Amino acid sequence: MRGLDLQQIGWRAMSNDLNSGLPLASTTWGVEERRAIDSVLDSGRFTMGEHVLRAEADFAKYIGAKYSVMVNSGSSANLLALAALNFHSTMSVSKGSEIIVPMVSWSTTYYPVNQAGYKLVFVDVAPSDWNISIQAIRDAITENTKGILAVNLLGAPCDMEALLEICNEFGLVLIEDNCESLGAEIDGKKTGSFGVMGTHSTFFSHHICTMEGGFITSDDEEFYQILLSLRAHGWTRNLPMENHVYTKTGDDFLDSYTFVLPGYNVRPLEIEGAIGVEQIKKLHSFISARSENATYLESIFENEFIQMQQPKGYSSWFGFGFLLTENAPFSRADLLSELAKQKIDTRPIVAGNFLRNPVMKHLNYRISGQSSVSDAIHERGFFIGNHHVDVRTNLRSFVSILERLSV
């Protein structure tokens, strides 16, 4: 997920009012972030600079990756990651190739695939964690399949062991859209560090917030340098003297204005980098609080008419996803209406089955297999917010409403 309409959920999210109801998001900023903003304003350097470099280094260390590139959004992180596949010397993917994606995700998981010249192959998601179905991937692979764009949904890790096994077996590249799952782990390894590149979001509604923002992580130096060029106009200015992209002349004037890749301008602000430095320091405590909220909710939640998302590994619990059964004695609309009366905000599970959006007529894609789980999520799924602070009382109120309706 890359965005959240604050007008729809109200300014309670901005004011951090968690005394009643349950907003989808709340501010994670404190005095440290305000001081960081002031320091940038006082410096007079507002464009990407030393604060962004430090945020990149800190973020890479947190993820356990060698390299990190900060951009202006998680959507732009996906844009650059898919574009970078065009240019790698040994892992390049030719235009027209197929990239397998789950049917359930946010719009800007999919658009960059088309924008980079690839064909989307949509497959269903698994019935327990709602991440991309491993069997559906195997059934979708053809000689033209060259990659998998796996989405870690709502904080829940995909089955990384199975994904890597498929990629090794068929020679596919794996990219992780980790925008909703910062801090999630499989066997102690952070999501976003399994594929050749991982993408992350730091928008307001996510685990940390830099206003707008995102990161791409990778262990591959060539991908890292390609991303540096693509991020800023496709020029050579930000590349080291010795690099995998272009042989520099040594003339700073020429090397600052030589364009070698068809790039973009998706650079972050220096203010966003400074905020990111402070937010990354707090990330462990944020994830711990979210996990404690989830543990409590799991301990009190038991409802025969509603299924809760069941993550594999260690989830970072972006939010709490639910799916009504077909025989539930109430409709989703009725339930959401009751929750709204108690100021408990809801939204679809990401974008539901994305195939059911009118924008599909503009995309190059094919569908492999059935869509039963994705359709169920689209028609009967919803999620509520989780937070970096204790919301157990709020969650108790949520469960009470479910219990009352289920009688």
Q: Name the catalytic one among 200, 206, 387, 388.
A: 206
Strands 214-218 and 365-367: unpaired
Axis-axis angle for helices 270-300, 31-43 (nearest 10): 170
Nearest to 321, CA basis, from 277, 264, 236, 386: 386
Number of other residues whose CB lies within 10 A of the CB of residue 324: 20
Q: Kindly list the distances between the CA atom of residue 32 and the CA atoms of 35, 193, 203, 278, 289, in Å, as whole numbers in the listed order.
A: 5, 28, 18, 7, 19
Helix intervals (H) in 31-146: 31-43, 50-63, 74-84, 107-115, 134-140
List CB contacts of 99: < 8 A, sequence separation 6 or more.
82, 93, 113, 118, 119, 120, 121, 145, 146, 147, 148, 149
Give me the DSSP letters along 141-182.
--TTEEEEEEE-GGGPPP-HHHHHHHHHHHT-EEEEE-TT-T
279 vs 20: CA distance, rounded Å: 26
Strand partners, 139: none
- Please state the separation of Cα 277 from the chain's center in Å: 19
In angstroms, the CA 279 to CA 134 distance is: 34
Q: Which residue has the tokens 């010795």?
A: 242
CB 193 within 8 A of CB 67: no
Q: Beta strands 214-218 and 197-201: pairing type?
A: antiparallel
Q: Residue 206 catalytic?
A: yes
Annotated catalytic sites, by residue? 206
